[in-house]
Chain A
Amino acid sequence: MTTEETGPHGAIIPDTPDTAAGGEDGAIVELRGAGKSYGNIRALHGVDLTVRPGQVTCVLGDNGAGKSTLIKIISGLHQHTEGEFLVDGTPVRFSTPREALDKGIATVYQDLAVVPLMPVWRNFFLGSEMTKGPWPVRRLDIERMKQTADHELREMGIVLDDLEQPIGTLSGGQRQCVAIARAVYFGARVLILDEPTAALGVKQSGVVLKYVAAARDRGLGVIFITHNPHHAYMVGDHFSVLRLGTMELSAAREQITLEELTNHMAGGAELAALKHELSQVRGVDTEALPEEGDLTAATAGEGKS
């Protein structure tokens, strides 16, 4: 089921320290050879990942590549079974999402982790409500929460008429942005975005990418999970491609072009083999398809910038 080591077409390019990140020790979150097995199924194996402040680390991969498992480990929903998971250089093992949140790791899930029937402002503060008054009559500080939510959303450029409307009535892009604004407000240092553009149209995806960039510019480390290399390339500083639970590619932006990334994402060398097979079939034009040399260019380590 799982591949041994990295495949013949896979190669890990050593990550050159980014100038903006402030060197090797600037990492907030670091995975070293991390992996996760569910019983006898190895969902993730030997993954290295570094998240630095002010940087967007993109994790790409097809369905079932282990992206979800990876975020679940970092966000505290699951524990890793091999390797190391470090936050600020200290090994950690989270048992609840709360612990990850306390370390400043916030996750915006694919399903957004919102409660559709609840008003926008209640969703914004869910789990971290503002209260006032002494214990027996400690109550929600509704005014302050509404004002804060409104202010924060406007900061991010989201204008809502009525914060009382159930969040389920917002569009997908708006909901995504509310979730990002929420994570930023609650002092996240690392923002994990689980396929934020998956279910969105072109324009809405653009809006979300803008907020990803905005979060990065505010100094957050962003982990951007996606299966769309075009979206990843627009905002990413570092790209990791997962394949059948292992890391197929890990490259900085300077070392890889969008075309190479797309090819890797699409299956790299496997596609070349497929092309060969297709060329046997009459009527399929393979001339326009990329050559194997193009597909594996990045793995040769010839970084382009």
Chain B
Amino acid sequence: MGMTQHAEPAVTTPPASGPGKVTDGRTSERPLALRLLARPEVGVFLGAVAVWVFFLIAAPPVREGSSMANILYQSSTIGIMALPVALLMIGGEFDLSSGVAVITSALTASMFAFQLTLNVWAGIFVALLVSLAIGFLNGWLVVKTGLPSFLITLGTFLILQGVNLAVTKLVTGNVATDDISNMDGFDQAKKVFASSFEVGGVQIKITIIYWLVFAALATWVLLRTKYGNWIFAVGGNKDSARAVGVPVNFTKISLFMLVGFAAWFVGMHNLFSFNTVQSGEGVGQELIYISAAVIGGCLLTGGAGSAIGPVFGAFMFGMVQQGIVYAGWNPDWFKAFLGVMLLGAVMINLWVSRTATRR
């Protein structure tokens, strides 16, 4: 047992082909199964499969194609936000304002277009600017003050929550915005953000496609680009990264703005699928995004994680949320179930990584 074994890296790439290399002979290959198990993405994948099988048995309606499309749709609305939240977490920061930021974006687009009777695209554009500005503000405050992002974004969370309600009441005299479905450009925007198409008699929402495309893009960026390298570096060791010339502030601020972008995207989806926005919504969603990222194997303290893990994490959540309904149980159980899953996943991940990477 005198052999040295090493932990799995935070990032993987295809193995380099080095024929006839001299090795120092002190490391031995661990069995493939163990190496795979040590990867958090594999753990959460197995977890997602387990939850899926559980509901296949417990709730017969889940077996239908349309239910699956519905579950995937539910997962995609969580998943699109969980992706940038995961990247931000790998970059070592948190964003508690992401849930209400979605609503802020939708409210901005809706009220701006409606009150000024403009084309909805003008509202969409203004909402994008507002969302990016919120992200920028979060990031800028975090890098300039050096305070924990937990505190900074808790502040913006409370501000946005209050502003959402107060401004909506001030402008519309109501807690919801006016229906914008008759306005110019609505149908076009609905096509982009909230349409669906049919595959084999099953209605597939377009957000599922966006979700998977964004996930693929995020994975590529994370593992194959300079920027991805910087994300791991600023989360893993900010000071070291700065010392070797990584633009730490740019990386962190842009990650916060990426969360802003996703909040805008999901906000637009909500607006164009429901025509109106409830100003009090979104509270608590940020914790679901963060949980999906953590279940997906992103290290809470930054520096490790993937974009694929949170996809499975979001799928688990969507599965449970819809599965409970299909099983005919009280939907109030959803949050309790989530908590159990979160604790379970975190502990299994910990146990697996301890056993599989034991040195």
Residues of chain A touching chain B, judged by Cβ–Cβ distance below 8 Å, are 75, 77, 97-98, 101, 107, 109, 111-119, 122, 125-129, 131, 138-140, 142-143, 146-147, 150, 159-166, 168-169
Structural contact, B16 and A126, CB atoms closer than 8 A: no
Residues of chain B touching chain A, judged by Cβ–Cβ distance below 8 Å, are 6-16, 18, 21-27, 220, 224-226, 228-229, 232-233, 236-237, 239-246, 299, 303-304, 359
| A159 in contact with B303 given A98-B245, A101-B245, A164-B12 (CB within 8 Å) | no
Nearest A-chain residue to B14, judged by Cβ: A142
Structural contact, B23 and A129, CB atoms closer than 8 A: no
Structural contact, A126 and B24, CB atoms closer than 8 A: no
| Residue among B25, B233, B359 with most chain A CB within 10 A | B233
Structural contact, B225 and A138, CB atoms closer than 8 A: yes
| A115 in contact with B237 given A162-B27, A169-B6 (CB within 8 Å) | yes
User: Could you say which residues of chain A place their CB within 8 Å of the CB of B229?
Assistant: 118, 122, 125-126, 129, 140
Q: List 18 A-B contacts (CB under 8 A).
A: A115-B236, A115-B237, A115-B240, A117-B303, A117-B304, A125-B229, A127-B241, A131-B225, A139-B225, A140-B224, A140-B225, A140-B226, A142-B224, A147-B18, A150-B18, A161-B25, A164-B9, A164-B13
User: Could you say which residues of chain A place their CB within 8 Å of the CB of B23?
Assistant: 159, 161
User: Could you say which residues of chain B place their CB within 8 Å of the CB of A169?
Assistant: 6-7, 359
User: Could you say which residues of chain B place their CB within 8 Å of the CB of A127?
Assistant: 233, 241, 244-246
User: Could you say which residues of chain B place their CB within 8 Å of the CB of A166?
Assistant: 6-10
Structural contact, B11 and A122, CB atoms closer than 8 A: yes
| A126 in contact with B233 given A109-B243, A161-B23, A164-B12 (CB within 8 Å) | yes
Structural contact, B6 and A162, CB atoms closer than 8 A: yes
User: Could you say which residues of chain A place their CB within 8 Å of the CB of B15?
Assistant: 164
Structural contact, B226 and A165, CB atoms closer than 8 A: no
User: Could you say which residues of chain B place their CB within 8 Å of the CB of A119?
Assistant: 9-11, 13
User: Could you say which residues of chain B place their CB within 8 Å of the CB of A122?
Assistant: 11, 229, 232
Structural contact, B7 and A147, CB atoms closer than 8 A: no
User: Could you say which residues of chain B place their CB within 8 Å of the CB of A112?
Assistant: 240
State the CA gap A200–B9 with chains docked (Å): 24
User: Could you say which residues of chain A place their CB within 8 Å of the CB of B359?
Assistant: 169
User: Could you say which residues of chain B place their CB within 8 Å of the CB of A164?
Assistant: 9, 12-13, 15
State the CA gap A140–B13 with chains docked (Å): 11
State the CA gap A125–B11 with chains docked (Å): 14
Structural contact, B27 and A161, CB atoms closer than 8 A: yes
Structural contact, A114 and B240, CB atoms closer than 8 A: yes
Nearest B-chain residue to A169, judged by Cβ: B6
State the CA gap A156–B124 with chains docked (Å): 57
- For the complex of A and B, 7 pairs with smallest distance between CB atoms: A127-B245, A115-B236, A127-B244, A113-B240, A117-B10, A113-B243, A119-B9
Structural contact, B22 and A107, CB atoms closer than 8 A: no
User: Could you say which residues of chain B place their CB within 8 Å of the CB of A109?
Assistant: 240, 243
A223 to chain B, nearest CB (A): 15
B106 to chain A, nearest CB (A): 30
User: Could you say which residues of chain A place their CB within 8 Å of the CB of B299?
Assistant: 117
User: Could you say which residues of chain B place their CB within 8 Å of the CB of A159?
Assistant: 22-24
